[in-house]
């Protein structure tokens, strides 16, 4: 079973992630950054995010170790993200977000983090390997 936590504002990010890393030492922590959902449709404004989401969740359930954590991180509306070098997730020293969706296997040391970016997040073989490694 995967435990899911959602970050609703950028200023919660570091504190929430640091707390989870401390509480769940040795467990797998995955961070999914994606375009915020449109309230009218319930789907992300980002077409790549919409395509990748069901595949990510399928592989999380099938391939991720028991007691894994998924931290969902909406990065903002299209206007808050697209073409905005000042988006806080782009400026975050560890994330340095370049494109969405981005899926990170968050470790205690940034050098050992693993990532899937954009279309990689919708490839079955990459997701399976990512979650089971």
Which entry of 7, 32, 46, 122 is annotated as an active-site residue?
Answer: 46
Which entry of 7, 29, 33, 49 is annotated as an active-site residue?
Answer: 49
| Collapsed DSSP state (helix, strand, coil) of residue 110 | helix
Concerning whether 46 is annotated as a catalytic residue, the answer is: yes
- Residues 6 or more apart whose CB falls under 8 angstroms from that of 104 comprise 30, 31, 32, 33, 95, 113, 114, 115
Concerning whether 121 is annotated as a catalytic residue, the answer is: no
Whose CA is closest to 33, among 77, 79, 99? 99
Question: Over the Cα atoms of the chain, what is R_g?
Answer: 14
Residues labelled catalytic: 46, 49
């Amino acid at each position: 079973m995967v435990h899911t936590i959602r970050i609703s504002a950028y200023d919660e990010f570091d504190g929430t992630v640091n707390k989870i890393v401390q509480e769940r030492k040795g467990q797998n922590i995955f961070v999914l950054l994606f375009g915020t959902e449109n309230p009218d449709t319930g789907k992300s404004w980002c077409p790549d995010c919409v395509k990748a989401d069901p595949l990510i969740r399928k592989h999380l359930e099938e391939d991720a170790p028991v007691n894994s954590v998924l931290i969902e991180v909406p990065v903002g509306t299209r206007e808050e993200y697209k073409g905005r070098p000042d988006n806080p997730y782009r400026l975050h020293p560890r994330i340095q977000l370049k494109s969405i969706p981005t899926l990170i296997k968050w470790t205690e040391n940034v050098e050992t983090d693993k990532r899937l970016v954009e279309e990689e997040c919708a490839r079955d073989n990459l997701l399976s390997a990512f979650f089971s490694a």
